[in-house]
Amino acid sequence: MSRQNQWIVGINAVWAAVEHDAGNVREVLLEAGARNPRLAEIEQQARRRDIDVRRVAQQALDGVAGGVRHQGVAARYAATRTWEEGDLPGLVEQAGGRALLLVLDGVQDPHNLGACLRSAAAAGATAVVIPKDRSAQVTATVRKTSAGAADRIPVVRATNLARTLSGLQKLGVWIYGLAGDAGAPLYALDLRGNVALVLGGEADGLRRLTREHCDELVSIPMPGQETSPGVESLNVSVAAGVALFEAVRQRAG
């Protein structure tokens, strides 16, 4: 795991950083003259935690945001974590036989990735695994969409996803891929132990090699498709939320 400095922008993302990880927030920039009461709350919270707060022109925020809509606030964050494949054994071990991993095989849309991270953090997932190539990465847009979850849950970047899945199997993790053409339903699985839920990208779903490294392929039952055959499949972030919270439901029971 390595660390690097980055700017995070947007009200929800900055609020989450100040609230949950203030020790790694180096400074907060607020748009001069902005009257949004939530910006005032962020300023008060930051000052209580001895974080430097500066009022700056909108152009300065535009510069650090890199084209992302900043909503009048940005924070310089000194502990953006980059997790690698070698960190997975430790994460699985720490989970004590109840690891819950979300594996995303080539999600391209940063908004979808951010929404998946938000669901994973809400579900208490152990980590999210994404490929280093041919996939959206954790950017300012992803952080904003995830409402700060991108910095609260380990996001592991895998050089070779098939190899990573094989390594997880050796650690005692069951790999379940979600595919619309699979016959077995998600709800028939036992998701209480070490589990990885694998979802494909927006356009093509799971790649061939990824499918071959899954212990089982399952689908999310959609009765609407039976009555209306033209209905589309679920968005990847919605499917991720459904699968993750089925695991949460089983573990709570």
Regarding whether 118 and 12 lie in a shared domain, the answer is no
Q: Does residue 129 contact residue 101 with C-beta atoms inside 8 Å?
A: yes
Regarding whether 235 and 117 lie in a shared domain, the answer is yes
Regarding whether 71 and 91 lie in a shared domain, the answer is no
Q: What is the pLDDT of residue 120?
A: 97
Looking at 81, 98, 116, which one is the last position of a domain?
A: 81
Regarding whether 70 and 49 lie in a shared domain, the answer is yes
- Mean per-residue pLDDT, 93-105: 97
Regarding whether 133 and 231 lie in a shared domain, the answer is yes
Regarding whether 215 and 91 lie in a shared domain, the answer is yes
Q: Tell me, what CATH number does 42's domain have?
A: 3.30.1330.30
Q: Tell me, what CATH number does 89's domain have?
A: 3.40.1280.10
> Cα–chain-centroid distance for residue 66?
21
Regarding whether 248 and 217 lie in a shared domain, the answer is yes
Q: How many CA atoms lie within 13 A of 59 on its CB side?
A: 0
pLDDT at 145 over 90: no
Regarding whether 196 and 102 lie in a shared domain, the answer is yes
Regarding whether 245 and 145 lie in a shared domain, the answer is yes
Residue 178: enclosing H or E segment and its boundaries?
strand 174-178
Does the annotation place 11 within a ligand binding site? no
Regarding whether 54 and 6 lie in a shared domain, the answer is yes
Does the annotation place 200 within a ligand binding site? yes
Q: Is 67 or 76 the better-scoring residue by pLDDT?
A: 76
Q: What is the pLDDT of residue 227?
A: 47
Does the annotation place 234 within a ligand binding site? yes
Regarding whether 152 and 63 lie in a shared domain, the answer is no
In tens, the pLDDT along 154-203 reads 999 999 999 999 999 999 999 999 998 888 999 999 999 999 999 998 87
* Domain residue limits at 9: 2-81
Burial class (CB in 10 A: 0-12, 13-18, 19+), 130: buried
Q: What is the pLDDT of residue 7?
A: 84
Looking at 53, 81, 109, which one is the last position of a domain?
A: 81
Q: What is the pTM of this model?
A: 0.75
Q: How many domains does the chain have?
A: 2
Cβ-based neighbours of 194, under 8 Å, separated by 6 or more: 92, 95, 97, 98, 99, 171, 172, 173, 174
